[in-house]
Structure 1
Amino acid sequence: MYKSELDKHIQNNSLSNSFVLFGESSFLIDIYTKKLTDIQDASTLSYYHDEYNFNSAKAHLSQASLFGGQNILIIKSEKKVPKKDLDILIDYCEKNRDNIFVYAYYGSDHKTYNSKSAFGKTTAMSVRFFNPSQSEAIFALSQIARDKKVNIDNYTITHLLNIHHCDIALASNEIDKFRVYDRTITTKDVDNLVFGLALVNIDELIKKILNKKDFRSELENILEHGEDEIRIVTAITSYLTQLYMFNIYIRVNGAPNALEILGYPAPKFVVDEKAALSIKFKPSTYYKLHELLLESELKMKSSHVDKSAILLSTLIRVQQLL
């Protein structure tokens, strides 16, 4: 099953008591492992990576809880636990519904578990987690911020995600930094605390490029602070895609609507700025720009190339197409 199905079981209180969690998103595997095992007064035994021992794991599920509550077994590993071990541990949960077993597999070989018949006729839930979409990542981070009593809106969360190139795990680690503020967090706060030096961010670089202004000092600044050339190209491509969505929406509806275009409300000045910039270019120009950027990204991914030279050449050609 997938995350959406597991969410429905959680909502309907129809969960099993044994789970195999795997997939592309380690962040979501961690989140749901904690969610499924966060039970007060339970007797919990956790194994991390090479610590796993079958005999002690089996003994933990087979004995009565020392605290008179539930026994919980958690195994987190990039290595596969033998299938026969899993079958036995799951069977202990089948026989005793007070037990809870979560196997969080962080490896990349998903074939063993990606099947409804993987665990026969047991009630074990095998769940695959894909990397979250942007809207899912924003929602997850807003939940984390709410739990930590950090007041931050979806626009600022998106800015934080963009800084970390949509890596939700890295972005979530930043939330604690904002607990020092007893007010709403702004994008300026994010720049100050996440960058540390309040570096010129990629959005400002992109706006200079698209307004046909000299961008070289900003580009040098970003590269000097360790930004990767390929990530700059993908950020520009993403920004242009967003502008194209504004362009299409405005041509069809006459005015922009951030909630329908982006999936979340954005400040009026941001919407006005993107709307004004988006209508400056024709659809054919967007097509040529995307084609150029995708070709350049492919070149950069080849071996033994000067990525900085390709990037500078690409950005100059972008301005020539505008």
Structure 2
Amino acid sequence: MRRNRTTRARWSGATLALGAAAAVVLAPATAGAAPTSAADAQRLVTETAQQLTDLDEQVHQARLLVAEQQQVAAAAAQTAAQAHAAVAQYEPRLRAFAQSGWTSHSQSRVAAFLTSDSAADVVQQMTTLDLIASHTAGLLTEVAAAHSAAEEAQAQADAASAQATAALTELERQQADVQARVDAYEADFERLSAAEQAAVTARLAGPALAAPSTSAVIAAAPSEAVASILQAALAQVGKPYVWGSSGPAGFDCSGLTSFAYQTAGVSLPHSSRAQSRMGQEVPRAQLQPGDIVYFYSPVSHVGIYIGDGKMVHARTFGQPVAVTSVDQRGYAGARRIL
């Protein structure tokens, strides 16, 4: 019974984790009328790009939750296997008792009476038989408890596996949905003039600035680890924005930051919201090169501060990685990871 209680306690937390890791449902795209002017078209494209940024982060969050569910399912399967192995360990002892004729306990008592030379001998033999019966009954109780624990663990494993599979299916559906919206957005963006495209991009993610000298940025880094992060990030300037990608051919915003930090041996989750909760909060006036800067509420965009009021980031859909001012629309805070 103690093993049964332990198993239930162990999996109560796992069940709560599964409940909290329900699949994220993407917010619907805002339906709007067809644009009636160039300015209206520009406004609608800007709004759509912001929606896509939010959806991008929702999918990243869903991906993290699916990974958690898969870990819970794997742990549940391992516990179930251990519980079944515990039951199997009783098999040799059960076979031994079966072969010893314990099932004929009443016949053994008669035989003890008939073959004993004295009353004391009868008592001694029957006491021994009682001890054997008691021990065997205790063994069967243990086996029953172990079997119950194994069944409970297997049920937990099956439920966790089913939920992880369902969440993965939902995530794949969401990714396909967002990709379709991205394709539609890029088609709308291409219909704008070059000046309108530049205005939309600047409004969303700041105007691109000339990238500073990498050697100068590295020289101002507070540590060698930060220097490697800055060098890696600046080396990606000009590469395309690719939704859901962490490189090396293209990046989205949290993909770029996680890629750059990996060069210093630091693993960041591929999620701007998750990154905005790591490390220590840093006031705008105390920013240092290498700090993660994040935008909007809820957080849906990140970049890497490189000093002198500038950051490098994968800006937005259809635009390459670039250096811009850190002081732009939606600035919400910064975190120091190193």
TM-score normalised by length of structure 2: 0.19
Could you say which structure has the higher helix fraction?
2
TM-score normalised by length of structure 1: 0.19
**Which of the pair has the greater relative contact order for Cα pairs under 8 Å at 6+ separation?**
2
Higher Cα radius of gyration: 2
